[in-house]
A and B are shown apart, each in its own frame.
Chain A
Amino acid sequence: MALPPGVVEIDELVLVTELRAGSSAAFERLVRHYGPPMRAAARRLLKNDEDADDALQEAFLAAFRALATFEARSKLATWLHRIAVNAALMKLRAKGSRAQETADVDELMPEFVGLGVFSTPQQRWSELPEDPVVRQELCGSVRAAIDELPEPYRVALVLRDIEELSNEELAEQLGVTVNAAKIRVHRARQALRTLLEPRMEGLA
């Protein structure tokens, strides 16, 4: 997990020792140092600031309670990041987002005919633009397209391709089999590809 520039590297072992001793100054350092990227991870899943702040609160409380189980050989940043993602997922579940589980992306899947050939010729996408302004604008379209995905697909895509969970970790988080998790990510990526297609052809 990248730390914002200007944030000084801190000695994790010293920090953890101080935290375990109950130092509130150490806790404040922890919050200021690791809070921003943890909040960004929660916001990616929850999509709004208020929920992200709530998830961050829950994450730090969970981290505080679990400090005794933290093993010094793992990176504190990675451990906290995972706790933040878990807190955001719990918040998503609490919001009843499972209601959308039935939403599907069938109409965004490629179509095949006959013996399994693409029903229409596939256009090759142009290479990604190098101009930073165009690129930034494209990223805005990509974020909008990701937000268009039904929630179970959006969450699977974010966890697998942005948070880089393994298929096994993803399956555990989603409460489905590894195979079901893989299929959901594949369908999410295919749906995103279809949503981006008009934009990418425009760039060609």
Chain B
Amino acid sequence: MNCARFQVAVHEYYRGTLSAAEHVEVETHAGVCPPCGRLKATCEEIACKEVVGFLPEYLEHELAPARKRLFERHFDICPDCSAYLHAYRSSIALAAEALAEPAEAPPLSEELVRDLVARAKKPKP
């Protein structure tokens, strides 16, 4: 296994979708290639499930500095979490854009204005 293949296969390795032979190849390659060994070690630092569970805290800068660095290392090497983070952020931005007030909020109908003013003159006890 070469390094390029390893970088793809390592994620499949943790998903459990590699053949038995490739599974062994990933472990062998990580054992003999220091950069790929470090990549595998980084994958093992924190699970995707945990990263996703704490996305709000990550985005709202509520993580302790060391934990924030751990998340950033994970985003650098994990295409799944990096794509998920991007989509999560895009969803928030799209929601805000889609529900933003129109540039010209339509004026209230004259009838509604009259009702509101009339009721204000006689406030409920």
Contacting pair A31 B83 (CB below 8 A): no
B32 interface hit (Cβ, 8 Å):
no
**A121–B80 touching, CB < 8 Å:** yes
- Tally of A-B residue pairs with Cβ under 8 A? 158
A interface, how many residues as a size bin?
35 or more
Known: A28-B117, A35-B113. A158 touches B99 (CB 8 A): yes
Chain B positions 85-125 with a Cβ under 8 Å from a chain A Cβ: 86-88, 90-108, 112-113, 115-117, 119-121, 123-124
A contact residues around B55 at 8 Å (CB):
186
A37, A125, A139: the one contacting B101 at CB < 8 Å is A37
Majority DSSP secondary structure for residues of A touching B? helix
Q: Tell me the B residues contacting A by CB distance below 8 Å.
A: 11, 14-16, 47-50, 52, 55-56, 79-84, 86-88, 90-108, 112-113, 115-117, 119-121, 123-124
A-B contact pairs, 15 of them (CB 8 A): A28-B113, A31-B116, A44-B99, A61-B124, A117-B47, A122-B79, A122-B84, A139-B98, A142-B98, A161-B96, A162-B99, A186-B56, A189-B92, A196-B91, A197-B87
